[in-house]
Amino acid sequence: MTIKKSLSNREHLLESMRTLSAELDYQTVLQSVISVASKLTNSEVASILKYEEADGHLHFLAAPWFQKDSMQSLRVPVDESIAGWVYQHAEPLVIQDVKEDKRFYSEVDQAVKFQTNSILAIPLLVQGRCVGVLEAINKVNRAHYNGEDVIILETLASQAALILENMDLEQRVTQMQAATDRLEQMKKDFIAIASHELRTPLGLIIGHSTFLREVIEEEHHEQLDTIISSGAKLKEIIENLSNVQNFQSGAASIRMKKFSLPNLIKENIDAFQEKAKDKKVSFHTDIKHPDLLLEGDAEKIGIALGNLLKNAVSFTSEGGHVFIIMEQIPGYAKVAIIDDGIGITAKELPHIFERFYQVESHLTRQHGGMGLGLSVAKVMIELHGGKIWAESILGKGSQFAFLLPLDRDQFNAAERVFQH
């Protein structure tokens, strides 16, 4: 009879484990664990306690339904309880008569109006680390807990331990995500405030410097040119910050109208001729469709082009070359800007369109900027339903290319394609 009962218990345990494994709600699983534990060990009740580092106590995570509300607020000390001993030593413990054991913590009984006579407590172990305790209380008819009861509870404890570990992991992930979200919001707020508050004083600096240059002696022009040039660089940084912020906040918009992409490319090349000349860098253009018209926001695409050209000239050594190729492929215009500069490592290449990412260390870098130019270019192209990417070989040069839809219908289709 005893053998048949033992087999029945183990079959029931296996079936219970399969059912528990299929359950997705953690709290439901834990309540099911204590229900199965009390049933298979023939105990009056069972409970699960979890150690909380915040206060150094064990907390009831699962308890019988008629005691659950009362037990949720209870805290069991680690140094003055049977559950605490099991947690600290990570060993099972059977107490057949709690009155004979000074480790028994009677305040739980007093709080829930219950009388504990015997306890079987099993540690909840995750990779050898104890995270809580599973208890069975009062084997019926004052019977003694035995080895089979220990095996049953140890089996159930393994399931409960995994649940507790998963709950901890999810909590940590949630906390990390909340912290990340707060940092991201702080960064957005800083960018918005900084770009707004810097515009007015910077405009005054550039405006007054330009005026003074017109009225003072030529011997002071060089100093004022430095002020004006530095102000222009700061203005560019602020505009980049603002462009990224507007895109992220959803405030960015585009004004769609027909424009000549070849003309826009030429205008941007002309704007960088002086900078290229200073570095003895030569531009080479190959416009395969000189009459190509696009529907889009020429100003925003011009910003992307300008940032890519600036990047190419900045990272091309003296005497180098920058090639600009424009062609039409089915449904799209393709622009490629190729340089024979310093190139980008394979490790850094996936990150170059991220905000504030800089290939060079901020302590040793030779080129200016805040690492916003390429991220802004990406924003401007993607606002048009386009796609931008880069290829590079370290020491040989880089190619930055982008696609733009030719018309509104293609723009809408491209948005759907590129967003996947």
How many Å apart are CA 35 and CA 45, to the nearest integer? 8
User: In the prediction, which pLDDT does 39 show?
Assistant: 92
Q: How far is CA 56 from CA 49, 88, 107, 162, 181, in A?
A: 12, 12, 17, 21, 29
Whether 257-418 and 2-175 are alike in CATH topology: the answer is no
Q: How far is CA 314 from CA 279, 304, 375, in A?
A: 9, 15, 16
Closest to 241 measured CA to CA, from 378, 379, 376: 376
Least confident of 11-15, 149-153, 281-285, 309-313: 11-15
Q: What is the DSSP letter of 152?
A: H
How many Å apart are CA 188 and CA 214, to the nearest integer? 39
pLDDT in tens, 304-346: 999 999 999 999 999 999 999 999 999 999 999 999 999 999 9
pLDDT in tens, 10-45: 556 555 555 555 555 788 889 989 999 999 999 999
pLDDT in tens, 287-305: 999 999 999 989 889 989 9
Residue 101 binned pLDDT confidence (cut-offs 50, 70, 90): very high
Q: Is the four-CA dihedral 272, 277, 280, 284 of positive or negative sign?
A: positive
CATH 3.40.190.10 fits 257-418, yes or no: no
Q: What is the C-alpha end-to-end distance of the chain, expressed in Å?
A: 64
* Boundaries of every domain in the chain: 2-175, 178-249, 257-418
How many Å apart are CA 101 and CA 78, to the nearest integer? 15
Fold of 2-175: Beta-Lactamase (3.30.450)
Contacts of 281 (CB under 8 A, 6+ apart): 313, 316, 318, 319, 320, 321, 322
How many Å apart are CA 263 and CA 273, to the nearest integer? 15
Closest to 335 measured CA to CA, from 375, 380, 366: 380
**Does the reported pTM lie above 0.85?**
no
Rounded mean pLDDT, 345-372: 68
Q: Which amino acid is located at 33 in the chain?
A: V
